[in-house]
Each structure stands twice: as C-alpha cells, then as structure tokens.
Amino acid sequence: MSKIRILDEQLANQIAAGEVVERPSSVVKELVENAVDAGSTTIDIVIEDGGLALVRVTDNGSGIEGDDIETAFYRHATSKLSSSKDLFRIASLGFRGEALPSIAAVARVECVSSPDNSGLGRKLVIEGGTITTNEETNAPQGTDISVRELFYNTPARLKYMKTIQTEIGHIADYVNRLALAHPGIAFTLKHNGSLLLRTLGSGDRLQAFAAIYGTATAKAMLPIEGEHPDYELRGYISKPEQTRSNRNGITIVVNGRYIKSFIINQAIMQAYHTLLPINRFPLVVLELGMHPSLLDVNVHPSKMEVRFSKEAELREFIEDAVKRALGKQRHIPGPAQPT
Ligand code: ADP
Ligand code: MG
C-alpha cells in the first residue's frame, strides 16, 4: 500500500505560514509590500495589541478584480510573475504568491477590494484557510485587509510571541524602513489608537527621514550620490560625530526593497573607518538602483536577503561614494574660476 500522499492545500498553507508568517511584523510586511506593488500613494496601517489582535492595511492602489479575489488567496497565485524569465528580473516586492494564503491559514482575514471607482467591490472573509463569505460590497478603489487573531489556530506559535512592546517595535521598525524606501507614498502607522508614524508622501526622502528620526537629525545629514554603469546610488549619511550604538540606523534599499546586506554594511563601515569611535555606527539611508538581473531576491521567503552578481565591484562603488560624501576623497579640481 502506498504511504506517500500530497498534502491538502490547507495543511500546505499552514506549513508555509511557519516560514512566511513568523510574527505580526511579517503580516505587516507582506500586506504593505502588496500595497506598494499595487502602486498605492497612501498606505494606512492600524495595529492592535502588537498585531496579535489586529493588523489592518488600507491602500488606494490598483485593487483586486472581483473574479480574482478568491484566487489571490490560493497558494502560488500571483499577478507578478508569468514566466521563469521574469524570475530573473523581478521588479515587484512580491512574486512568490505565498503571503495571502499563508496569512489566511493562521488568522481570520477580511479583504475588501475594488479595482475602480465605481463605489463597488468585493468582500472576502477567510478564516483558518476556509472561505466563509464572498459578496459584493461598497468599496472605494484600493484594498483594505484586516487580519485578526493571528495564530489563533496555532497555539505553539502564539505562545512563542513576545510582549506587545516587542512586537510593535518590530512592526514600527519595518514600517519606518519602508517609508524611507518609498518617500512618494504617504504612510500612517497607528497602534492602539496612537499615531506612531506619519509621512507626507511628497517624494522627499529627507522629509520622510525627519518624520522618523526628527528634524534636527535630518538637517545634519550629508547627501550621498554615486553613478556607475551598473548602479545608481542616492541617500543620506550621518557625519562621523553623529554616531549610534548599533547598526540599526543603517537602512539599505535596493530597487525599492528594504534589504539586509552584510557586504554593503561592510563597505559603509570601511569608508568611515577611523572616523568612527570604536563600537559606534553611523545613521545611513542608501537607495541603490540596478538592473533587476544583477540581483537575486529569491534567496529566502522573507525576501530580505539578496545576492548581488558583482559583489566586489558593488562594495568598491559604495565605499567610494561614502568616502566622497564624507569629504575623504576630493574631486579632481577643475580649472580655476575667473574672479
Ligand atoms: P505576491 O505578492 O507574491 O504576488 P500575495 O499572496 O502577497 O502574493 O498576493 C497575491 C496576489 O493578490 C498578488 O499577486 C496581487 O495580484 C493580489 N493582491 C494582494 N494584495 C493586493 C493589494 N493590496 N492590492 C492589489 N492587489 C493585491
Ligand atoms: Mg505579496
């Protein structure tokens, strides 16, 4: 008798959720990334009790067609990839088609979405992976997803959650980074009724930075820029006097995605080198643009880790740009200006 069988969809989703939905901030991350991919210009995030009671993300993006709203919650269902060629030039934040089914497997989800401004849309309710409602409803253009009682059906994971303060700390950290990555989007983040972040969406990165770190800190930052046949770099770095006690002040954004990169961190630290006291770290926000084919984002389900195809070259480019911004390497002086 054969013993091997294919897992049913619900069980497969619960297993995937173990990887994709580690904690409430993972839900925030996945929902906000979807909102960014939908071309939204405003994203409002409402959290209750560290995200275990509620994570709600409302956007004004392209919305989901009524016929697609159930499909969006199927495993490996995505509108962002259509061929394996696309996998090697990913321009969107999502592409795995795993987030919505994984979240819906371990929470109670309500999704209201409309693709146009007819005033009508669809509402889907899905609890622990089971669809309980799919009906027409009034809705503005965009998507409004509420995730309630996260991990209600996975008690082991629920028990592992830290305090509300820890969980909201992770959430705020992630939203801050994404607001820095996308200064053209107006973000708000509220926790238990209090406003933790509001950015204006003006497109001015320093303004978004000021909303997070304060105006005085923002004013003291140095602009950084770099051009290279393969890369384009922009951002702000702190003067060596303005240091911090840990690396958390370093935000690296590659093609709109907030990532963690050991090699870029190293290049930055190498550029500051002796300017920084021991065990002190700069505040940095770098936005790096490159052709998507130079980057592999399909390394881990959380998509926070990437592989660069030309590491050594990239490291040198970043280090040089940071040194230049710090005034360590002067430009070759041009001809003297007539007086
Ligand atoms: P992925 O982002 O990897 O495609 P998800 O499970 O996160 O997978 O989402 C599945 C699909 O649902 C997306 O490809 C997209 O078409 C649709 N979708 C999800 N969230 C939104 C949103 N906020 N606005 C518009 N479409 C969305
Ligand atoms: Mg997604």
Q: What is d(CA 16, CA 99) in angstroms, rounded to the nearest whole number?
A: 9
* pLDDT recorded at residue 161: 84
- Does the ipTM surpass 0.95? yes
Question: What are the pocket residues of ligand 1 if the criterion is a CB atom closer than 6 Å to any ligand atom?
Answer: 30, 34-35, 38, 59, 61-64, 72, 77-80, 94-100, 143
Instruction: Give, in order, the Cα–Cα distances in Å from 195 to each of 26, 48, 187, 271.
Output: 20, 12, 11, 37
Q: List 122's β-bridge partners, or say none.
A: 113, 136
CA of 58 to the centre of ligand 2 (A): 14
Residues with CB under 5 A from ligand 2 (ion): 34, 94, 99
CA of 206 to the centre of ligand 1 (A): 29
Q: Tens of pLDDT along 135-179? A: 999 999 999 999 999 999 999 889 888 899 999 999 999 999 999
* pLDDT recorded at residue 228: 94
* pLDDT recorded at residue 337: 54
* pLDDT recorded at residue 167: 96
Q: Which ligand is closest to the CA of 145, given by its number?
A: 1
Measured by CA distance, the residue closest to atom 7 of ligand 1 is 99
- Given phi > 0 = left and psi -120 to 50 = alpha, else beta, which region is 156? alpha
- At 19, the amino acid letter reads E
Collect the ranges in the chain with pLDDT lower than 50. Answer: 330-332
Q: Which ligand is closest to the CA of 65, given by its number?
A: 1
Q: Would you call 122 helix, strand, or coil by DSSP?
A: strand
CA of 95 to the centre of ligand 2 (A): 6
* pLDDT recorded at residue 331: 47
Question: Which is it for strands 284-290 and 222-227: parallel, antiparallel or unpaired?
Answer: unpaired
Q: Would you call 166 helix, strand, or coil by DSSP?
A: helix
* pLDDT recorded at residue 96: 85
**H/E segment holding residue 57:** strand 54-59
Among 215, 219, 296, residue whose Cα is nearest residue 255: 296
For the entire predicted model, the pTM comes to 0.92
**H/E segment holding residue 236:** strand 231-237
Q: Tens of pLDDT along 205-245? A: 999 999 999 999 999 999 999 999 999 999 999 999 888 99
| CA atoms within 13 Å, Cβ hemisphere of 241 | 4
> 98 and 16 in contact (C-beta within 8 Å)?
yes
Nearest ligand 1 atom, CA 102: 6
CA of 72 to the centre of ligand 1 (A): 6
